[in-house]
Structure 1
Amino acid sequence: MSGRLLTHLRHVDLAVPDYDKQLDFYSGVWGLTKVAEDSGISFLAAEGSPEQYVVRLRKAADKRLDLVSYGAASRADVDTLAAQLASSEVQLISEPGAVDTPGGGYGFRFFDVDGRTIEVSTDVEVRQHRKIEEKEAIPVKLSHVVLNSPDLNRTREWYERHLGFALSDTLSSPHMGEVMHFMRISNQHHSMAIAQGPHTALHHVSFEMRGIDEYMRGSGRVMRAGFQKIWGPGRHMAGDNTFTYFLDPHGNTVEYTTELEELDEDTWHPHVYDFSQPEVTDQWGTANPMNELVAKESFNDPDRGVFIAPPV
């Protein structure tokens, strides 16, 4: 797409009251690697990813989504995007400058239309990573993030206009209308999706596994460890990816996935899928049905960080 300045999703940062439990979960049963920690803040990498980290945890009194971080190709692109956002009266939290997190880099932060903090950075040092081996059931990389918005189409239009996202597919139903938009910044079907929700909040964070076998082994490990599985295993129609959803110790939904669809952007036309049809939510028919419990857990708690920049 011409004019697109974002390249990929880097990391998702969470503030959590029960920091030790969260760190044990993500660096233990979930399969991430703690690469740095300093006084109530930790950085967790995926072994197969060149990103310095894919999750940041911060100890805080209130649970919130601290920020979502995206990459850009160059300092010039970062500067261009910052200038474009400022001229469109998007509220910048910081001007482009040095990034003071593992791997360094150059970037800035701003609020999206719902008040989430978004970071864009470039020149971050590449982490030494490795190929994930057969039967090694740990995340290869961060796949995508899904965000709840009280005004689905306003949020979609903001991300299209200001950040160059393109619509891949939509979930809808005869009774509820549109409930989710899948958005992309590359040929990956979605690096973000926007869900219609009662309030601004994190819907879920998704992690890519090596393949079907590793995805199933990882899902089984989390289940055996006693963490609540809320939906899956199955395969969605939009994106054609597998899914198993769990709750982390503080009630955030996290997903193992694999085989997310790659598109030909020049020829792709968005579909509108009727998610009241069982095969749309799960082509395989192996997952528990989508129901009120699954939806309620995915709404999450109202985000306490709306239009409040995280302290770090």
Structure 2
Amino acid sequence: MIDPAAETPPAERLITHLRHVDLAVPDYERQLEFYTSTWKLKAETTDSGLAFLAAEGSPEQYSVRLRRSDDKRLDLIAFGAASPADVDAMAERLGRAGVQLVSEPGPVLTPGGGYGFRFFDNDGRTVEVSCDVAVRQHRRIEEGESVPVKLSHVVINSPNPEQTVAFYQRHLGFALSDTLMHPRLGSMMWFLRTNTFHHSLAIARGPHVALHHASFEMRGLDEYMRGTGRLLRAGVEKIWGPGRHLAGNNTFSYFLDPHGNTIEYTTELEELAEDTWHPHLYDFSDPEVTDQWGTANPMNELIAGKSFNDPDKGVFVAPPV
């Protein structure tokens, strides 16, 4: 079986890495309490109804932004670039291709500053690309600390996943690492990379545009399991895990935040030798594909339904901040 997304010629790669994921939430205080006290991100900057939450091991100014809003939505996904010249080149390339820009390249007005721009992807999500953001003073996470080191990857739902995969390959230079398929359902999830890590973005087939999950890297297996256990003791709803995926070879424990967004603790995401890597097509009806260890609850329709999330109310509507 040939995946049509694998045939899309990629653009020149100008994106270097994933920066942060921004969420709009109606119950702002409850979400802020959860992401700081329970999930263990650090509130570096807070304003009236706006919080910038950092992973303590990351040089990024923040990994999650929370914004008070009447509507639950994914405000944006942010990626890094190496230089203002690369930011300008990407904005020009997208504009020539007819992609709708939300803002032209210019100063970034969030913590750390920098230079960047925003645009809508083919499904209407807002995406930001920036460079020259000030490096945050971060620290080494010590043995036994069950706090996130960094934002690992973001997975999004699309009702048109083949087109969405092709968009990120053709316009942004993402490369396909692996694909998950099902004998009856066809291709269901595509893992895309923009550096040597197996994926920083993945596209899942879903009934509507929405966030599938955001994943946070832990220091190691012990810290990952300690974090998983800490959330279980706190009564946070776990929907899947702990286990280890085959695609990416990373561990997984999926939980729901207070607004029903799926978030994940993970560790040991695979780094690839890009010159020799060939994408796999994995059949996720095989239990070894979804969980090599066999320790997680079986993947079923309930788990899949939780990850569909609510339809995103921010489609083709740029966030106000």
TM-score (norm 1): 0.99
Deviations 1:129-182 (A, max 9, x none): 011000000000000000000011100001000000000000001111000000
Contact kept in structure 1, 2:11 and 2:170, CA below 8 Å: no
Letter in 2 for 1:218: G
Aligned match of 1:172 in 167, 181, 198? 181
Matched residue of 2:102: which SS? coil
Unaligned runs of 5+ residues in structure 1 are none
2:217–2:266 CA contact under 8 A, matched in 1: yes
Equivalent residues in 2 for 1:1-312, closer than 5 Å: 3-312=12-321
> How far apart, CA to CA, are the structure 2 residues paired with 1:248 and 1:293?
17
The equivalent residue for 2:6 is: none
The two structures have a TM-score, normalised by structure 2, of: 0.97
Which ranges of 4 or more aligned residues in structure 1 deviate by more than 3 Å? none
Task: Tell me the secondary structure at the aligned position of residue 311 of structure 2.
Answer: coil
- AA aligned opposite 2:68: K
CA contact (8 A) 2:179 2:190 kept: yes
**Cα separation, 1, equivalents of 2:240 and 2:306:** 10
**Aligned-pair distance for 1:3?**
1.6
- Whether the 8 Å contact between 2:11 and 2:172 is mirrored in structure 1 is no
Q: Cα deviations across residues 57-114 of structure 1 (Å, max 9, x unaligned)? A: 0000000000000000000000000000000000000000000000000000000000
Q: Distance in 2 between matches of 1:207 and 1:21?
A: 20
**Root-mean-square deviation (Å):** 0.7
Q: Distance in 2 between matches of 1:200 and 1:60?
A: 19
Determine helix, strand or coil for the equivalent of 1:205: strand
Structure 2 unmatched runs, 5+: 1-9
The 3-state SS of whatever aligns with 1:13 is: strand
Cα distance in 2 for residues equivalent to 1:240 and 1:75 = 34
Structure-2 separation of matches of 1:78 and 1:300: 32
> 1-side partners of 2:19 and 2:167: how far apart?
20
- SS of the aligned residue for 2:103 comes to coil
1:2 Cα deviation after fit: 7.7
Q: Secondary structure at the match of 2:38?
A: coil
Q: Within 1, Cα distance between the matches of 2:149 and 2:67?
A: 23
**Offset from partner CA, 1:222-278 (integer Å, 9 cap, x none):** 111111000000000000000000000000000000000000000000000000000
In the aligned structure 2, how far is the partner of 1:205 from the partner of 1:174? Answer: 27
Q: Which secondary structure state, in structure 1, belongs to the residue aligned with residue 166 of structure 2?
A: helix
Give % identity. 72
Q: Which amino acid aligns with 1:140?
A: V
- Kindly provide the amino acid, as one letter, of the partner of residue 128 in structure 1: Q
- CA distance, structure 2, for counterparts of residue 278 and residue 18 of structure 1: 37
Paired amino acid for 1:277: D
CA distance in structure 1 between the partners assigned to 2:129 and 2:196 by the alignment: 19
* Secondary structure, counterpart of 2:152 in structure 1: strand
